[in-house]
Amino acid sequence: MRSGIRLYLVLALGTLLVAAFAPLFFAMAGLTHATMTTAREATARALGRAIAGHVLEARATRTDAEILPLLDAQVGEAGVAAIGVYDLDGVLGPRGGEKSALPMLPGRVRVGAEQLLPVATPRGPALLVVVPALDDRADATGAVAALLRTDPSSVGSSRLVGLFALYTGLVALALLVFAYFAMTRLVVQPIDQLVTAARRVSDGARRLDVPQAGAREILELGESLGDMMGRMRADEDALLAKIAEVQRYAADLERAQGSLVRSEKLASVGRLAAGLAHEIGNPISAILGFQELLILGGLEPGEQRDFLERMKRETERIHRVLRDLLDFARPAAKPGDGGREPPGSVREALDDVVALCTPQRGFREVALETEVPGDLPLVVLSHERLVQLLLNLMLNAVDAVPDRGAKIAVRAIPCDGRVRIVIEDNGPGIAPSVRAKLFEPFVTTKEVGKGTGLGLAVCRGLVEAAGGTIAAEAAPDGGARFVLEVPVAPSGEGG
């Protein structure tokens, strides 16, 4: 989970204050240390000169044994740890002080110049002040050295640094708290209000409540978001209106397509009916002749029965042809009437088409070859759609083949989740100039009055609506070949 802006704000402000106050603290601590060091050195020099003057004055009138009590009396005052007296050659003579500090006195010093030397003692750092004598008497002392403790605890510099550190920390904390609350009120709270308002909009609210307080940039951001929401609502309303309009157009187009399919189906019925007129006329003429003979009478009972049986067979033949024609002409169920159209079988549809076409006189001289496996999977097109497709293509093929030696072949195979249907004929074929636009409405190669030019357009519409394809090619023997690929129905449909 990502951290909030408040945590980032505290970290940024804390880092800024540390970057601002840390150098100041270290500079102040360094300056204090340097000042204290200088002050300690000056104090040590002054104290060493005072002790040296007092000792040198007493040395002029006292012996070494008498000088020792004076040296011990000076120890302990103002941090004096040890005092040593050196002769003119710089060799250590009488000395006094703390036992732990006496070994820190050097055995020999350089006489003639004042010296200030740092010394490390068991109790901490110290300064050795060497003050030379100023007279040239024979019995004069060469120099006096005083060992002065200068540890920080003896001068109080650490307390000053600690107080400054405390003050710096309190000021930094106060600035951090003030900046945090100020930034929270001016930046964080308006941003939280914008986030809350945006969540309400994502939950379905139609209006963005922008904050009324905060920094100018935040207020401008809220106003910009409010304007953007207004434009988005306007665009959404316009889009919904466009969607409704497109839906109306789609419904109108669907109705127009259904009407076109119905019209082409009726046209196919008319073509079938025209072809069946002669076939039905012959059985009717035979029935009428048998009826005349029966009316005239004078027939033997066996002859009468034979005539009646022949009349019955001819009547059943007419009934069967008309029933197939009416079944094809009956309107197909719409998808909205009972849900989705049931899948269809290519083999069953082809059997029905053959039953419709074989009574036609034009199919008597045609060698019809079918190669359709019985175990083909069902396709997404319904039975009625398949019958209309195959019948239209076969009627076009029979119109194109020659009177003698005509041949029409229909094959179907499964292919990569689809069923591939191929219808070939040995007619003159399709000119390349016409083939490119053959499936467009009102394009036909037939004579005027013998075709509407909508059959192949309807076929393409039915196939493409189901997600398939249809194409016209040149057959190997010079005729026409139509290739359809129809998707296989999902498993579980159609029983």
Q: Could you give the strand order of the β-sheet that contains 80-86, starting from the edge strand earlier in sequence?
A: 92-97, 80-86, 143-149, 124-132, 115-121
Mean pLDDT, residues 434-458: 65
Q: Residue 281: its pLDDT value, please?
A: 66
- CA-atom Rg of the chain in angstroms: 60
Backbone angles phi, psi at 131, to 5 degrees: -115, 120
pTM over 0.85, yes/no: no
Can you tell me the distance from the alpha carbon of 307 to that of 313, in angstroms, rounded to the nearest whole number?
10
DSSP-derived pairing of the beta strands 92-97 and 80-86: antiparallel
Q: Residue 434: its pLDDT value, please?
A: 78
Highest mean pLDDT among 300-309, 310-319, 347-356: 347-356
Neighbours of 35 (CB within 10 A): 12
Domain ends where: 136, 159, 182? 159
Which residues make Cβ contacts (< 8 Å) with residue 107, sequence separation at least 6? 91, 92
CATH at 463: 3.30.565.10
Q: Is 383 a member of any domain?
A: yes
CB 421 within 8 A of CB 486: yes
Give the pLDDT band (50/70/90) at residue 155.
very low
- CA distances 228 to 208, 307, 373, Å, are 10, 90, 62
Mean pLDDT, residues 403-408: 80
Nearest Cα neighbor of 72 from 93, 52, 96 is: 96
Q: Is 406 a member of any domain?
A: yes
Highest mean pLDDT among 227-241, 255-269, 348-362, 414-428: 414-428
Residue 330, judged by CB atoms within 10 A of its CB (0-12, 13-18, 19+), counts as exposed
Backbone angles phi, psi at 149, to 5 degrees: -70, 135
Please state which of the ranges 81-85, 124-128, 206-210, 470-474 shows the lowest mean pLDDT: 206-210
Q: Is 233 a member of any domain?
A: no
Neighbours of 401 (CB within 10 A): 22
Mean pLDDT, residues 116-125: 80
Can you tell me the distance from the alpha carbon of 397 to that of 451, in angstroms, rounded to the nearest whole number?
13
When the pLDDT of each residue in the chain is averaged and rounded to a whole number, the result is 77
CB 119 within 8 A of CB 82: no
Q: Which two tokens stand for residue 448?
A: 């005027």
Q: Is 417 a member of any domain?
A: yes
Residue 50's Cβ-side half-sphere holds a number of Cα atoms within 13 Å equal to: 11
Can you tell me the distance from the alpha carbon of 177 to that of 198, in angstroms, rounded to the nearest whole number?
29
Mean pLDDT, residues 310-324: 71
Give the pLDDT band (50/70/90) at residue 192.
confident
Q: Is 165 a member of any domain?
A: no
Residues listed for the chain: 495
Q: Residue 449: its pLDDT value, please?
A: 44
The residue range of the domain holding 115 is 5-159
Mean pLDDT, residues 459-474: 87
CB 366 within 8 A of CB 408: yes
Domain ends where: 100, 126, 159? 159
Highest mean pLDDT among 219-228, 258-267, 273-282: 219-228
SS3 276: helix
Provide the percentage of residues in the chain whose pLDDT is more than 90: 7
Q: Residue 419: its pLDDT value, please?
A: 94
Residue 120 confidence (pLDDT) above 90: no
DSSP-derived pairing of the beta strands 115-121 and 92-97: unpaired
Q: Which two tokens stand for residue 402?
A: 């020659």
Can you tell me the distance from the alpha carbon of 87 to that of 55, in angstroms, rounded to the nearest whole number?
13
Provide the percentage of residues in the chain whose pLDDT is more than 70: 79
Overall domain count for the chain: 2
Q: Is 268 a member of any domain?
A: no
Mean pLDDT, residues 158-170: 79
Residue 348's Cβ-side half-sphere holds a number of Cα atoms within 13 Å equal to: 12
Mean pLDDT, residues 407-415: 90
Residue 214 confidence (pLDDT) above 70: no
CATH at 144: 3.30.450.20
Q: Is 79 a member of any domain?
A: yes
CB 463 within 8 A of CB 393: no
Angle subtended by helix axes 301-329 and 383-400, to nearest 10: 110
Mean pLDDT, residues 231-252: 86
Highest mean pLDDT among 17-21, 103-107, 176-180, 402-406: 103-107
Nearest Cα neighbor of 112 from 142, 152, 81 is: 142
Domain ends where: 159, 190, 221? 159
Give the pLDDT band (50/70/90) at residue 154.
very low
User: When comparing pLDDT for 29 and 326, which is higher?
Assistant: 29
Which residues make Cβ contacts (< 8 Å) with residue 486, sequence separation at least 6? 346, 379, 380, 381, 418, 419, 421, 463, 466, 468
Give tens-digit pLDDT for 248-275. 888 887 777 677 666 666 666 665 666 5
Q: Is 174 a member of any domain?
A: no
Q: Which two tokens stand for residue 152?
A: 């920080």
